[in-house]
Structure 1
Amino acid sequence: MTRPLFPAEDVENFEVAALPLETQRNIEADSFWCMSKLLDGIQDNYTFAQPGIQNKVKALEELVSRIDVDIHNHFKRYEVEYLQFAFRWMNNLLMRELPLRCTIRLWDTYQASSVGVLH
């Protein structure tokens, strides 16, 4: 991976075309391998019965039951299934729930984590 280009740059208005051609090529290569790694970790999300998403939702339920018993019990009392609200989160990797700046930071974390986030 190449070094970050302009960490303080406004990512929402960044003009990639203004960069030198060699830098653009490096960005393209880095983007390809990052996306490849990301897709390797979520393949099960998009196969029949979506076992990847099912497992992530179960992991979320187990985590909430340990960390916030009150909200977990509230969900159970009112028969709220985690799948009802967490499916979209897992399906879109939280992209539709957060602003672009936060999404980029979150995806950076996905890429930096060797285990646990997408697996």
Structure 2
Amino acid sequence: MTRDASGTPRRLQEPDGYPESRVEDVNNQHVATGTAADRVGDSWAVGWDRDGKPTFLERPPGSIRSFATGINDSGEIIGNIEHRPPDRFHADQPAPKASPQDRLGTGPRSRIAPRTNVE
């Protein structure tokens, strides 16, 4: 649940085709972020606007799942992406390595900020 511009509580809409969703964080603008999953296990990072409408956040090419874990008050979203392993490798070529941080989507609600450890 979040609050719209007038302060009225709003139930978050389930994204179409993704009956299981989970909110991980809500910022001071009442924008929520989390993850939606379908019945076969496909997970997708989602942002909900202050009226409760969901938006799937873009995934980079080659990724198979995304998870949004937090949002700051500027609308920057942090999360994780799982990449599809390559189909095969040539013995003389090293396997590609996934970047530790990839960006989900574009725009103010779908930027990933670098995650830092807090002690």
What TM-score do you get using the length of structure 2 for normalisation?
Answer: 0.24
Larger Rg: 1
Structure with the bigger percentage of helix? 1
Structure with the bigger percentage of strand? 2
What TM-score do you get using the length of structure 1 for normalisation?
Answer: 0.24
